[in-house]
């Protein structure tokens, strides 16, 4: 069932977000460079391939009404330390698009939502008006997308997962046109929801682990209230630290701030699991793969790596989903090239 809303008011613009630190852009780089490939029957009701270990660009069925104004051409996910989605749409509205915002839920075999990703693109220098769902990535378009052309959106929720989704559903879509018109469509019974995103961290993490062997992995659960404050930090399973050390760790995470989880337009209290990996000095990057590794890991969680600061014992630099964070966190603002040309089959 659809829930539609159309407005003729002028398209409101605000300045785009400050670019996120280079880490996320670097993480998205391989997705930008990979060639597009048409998935067969993008609107067909079909099951996604089973996945284990590291997952690279597996197509996911994403049905969308023919009268929505856009057609899904490519939709796939890549999963390792975080989830990266690619969604390519064809503009079939008959008008040029200045912005598009798509809300996608990803489901397991039983139809339960594993996680959600909002996808957003807008003309460079302008930000599309959208629902309260907040994307971690904003795509900047070099120009409006003409009718019949394509727009590619990249999205992430900065989470990792142990359960690869078998299908996906659009819970809402908003289109913004060059003539100032906009259209918003909600789909019922799909739930319009979002997962929490970090907006402010401590500058680094202070924790003296003494003579513990590295790498050291700890799992914690944050409880985040509707205004984005962390109100509780608890161990997930065995603490892995002495009680006093865990309390010092918890006190620092209580200083973090988040854009809260939302459901049907309202902020709500949520739990966010973190997997913390304390690395030895000068450790080389190691690719981590979590698909199929439940119950050792939660179904969805944020993967946080901590690197020791040289010459500063007990101080750790923080990477959240592969992105260095230190204090205020801005969201990624990525440049998109000309609309992709999709080869005819």
pLDDT for 176 equals 92
pLDDT for 32 equals 33
Cβ count near 241 (within 10 Å)? 19
* Contact (Cβ atoms closer than 8 angstroms) between residue 3 and residue 171: no
Tokens of 137: 């990535």
What's the distance, CA 211 to chain centroid?
A: 36
Residue ranges of the chain with pLDDT lower than 50?
3-50, 339, 345
- Furthest-apart CA pair in the chain: how many Å? 66
- For the whole model, what pTM was predicted? 0.81
pLDDT for 45 equals 37
Burial class (CB in 10 A: 0-12, 13-18, 19+), 328: exposed
Question: Strand pairing of 83-91 and 261-263?
Answer: unpaired
3-state secondary structure (DSSP) of residue 335: strand
3-state secondary structure (DSSP) of residue 129: coil
3-state secondary structure (DSSP) of residue 251: helix
In tens, the pLDDT along 149-207 reads: 999 999 999 999 999 898 999 999 999 998 888 888 888 788 999 999 999 999 999 99
pLDDT for 7 equals 35
* 6-191+330-335 CATH pick, 3.30.1760, 2.70.50, 3.40.50, 1.10.10: 2.70.50
Tokens of 128: 């599309």
pLDDT for 259 equals 95
* Contact (Cβ atoms closer than 8 angstroms) between residue 147 and residue 93: yes
pLDDT for 47 equals 44
In tens, the pLDDT along 213-245 reads: 789 999 999 999 999 999 999 999 888 888 999
Cβ count near 50 (within 10 Å)? 10
Contacts of 340 (CB under 8 A, 6+ apart): 36, 88, 150, 152
pLDDT for 66 equals 80
What is the secondary structure of 42-56 as a DSSP string?
TTS--PPPP--BSEE
Domain boundaries, the chain: 6-191+330-335, 197-325
Phi, psi of 83 (to 5 degrees): -95, 130
């Amino acid at each position: 069932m659809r829930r539609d809303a159309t407005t003729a008011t002028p398209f409101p613009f605000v300045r785009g977000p400050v670019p996120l630190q280079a880490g996320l852009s670097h993480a998205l780089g391989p997705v930008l460079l990979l060639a597009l490939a048409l998935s067969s029957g993008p609107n067909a009701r079909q099951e996604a391939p089973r996945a284990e270990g590291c997952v690279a660009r597996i197509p996911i069925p994403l049905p969308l009404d023919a009268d929505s104004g856009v057609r899904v051409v490519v939709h796939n996910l890549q999963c390792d330390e975080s989830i990266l989605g690619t969604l390519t749409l064809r503009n079939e509205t008959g008008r040029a698009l200045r912005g598009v915002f798509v809300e996608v839920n990803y489901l397991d075999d039983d139809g339960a939502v594993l996680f959600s990703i909002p996808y957003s693109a807008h003309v460079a220098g302008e930000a599309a008006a959208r629902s309260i769902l907040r994307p971690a990535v904003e795509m900047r378009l070099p120009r409006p997308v003409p009718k019949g052309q394509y727009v590619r959106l990249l999205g992430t929720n900065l989470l990792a997962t142990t359960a690869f989704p078998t299908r996906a559903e659009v819970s809402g879509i908003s289109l913004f046109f060059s003539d100032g018109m906009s259209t918003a469509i909600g789909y019922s019974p799909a739930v319009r929801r979002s997962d929490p995103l970090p907006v402010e961290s401590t500058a680094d993490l202070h924790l003296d682990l003494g003579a513990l062997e590295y790498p050291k992995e700890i799992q914690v659960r944050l409880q985040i209230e509707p205004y984005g404050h962390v109100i509780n930090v608890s161990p997930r399973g065995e603490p892995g630290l002495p009680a006093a050390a865990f309390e010092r760790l918890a006190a620092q995470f209580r200083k973090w701030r988040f854009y809260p989880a939302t459901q049907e337009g309202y902020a709500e209290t949520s739990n966010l699991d973190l997997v913390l990996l304390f690395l030895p000095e000068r450790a080389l990057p190691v690719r981590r793969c979590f698909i199929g590794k439940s119950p050792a890991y939660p179904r969805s969680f944020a993967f946080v790596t901590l690197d020791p600061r040289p010459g500063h014992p007990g101080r750790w630099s923080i990477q959240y989903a592969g992105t260095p964070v230190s204090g205020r966190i801005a969201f990624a603002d990525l440049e998109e090239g000309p609309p992709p040309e999709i080869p005819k089959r």
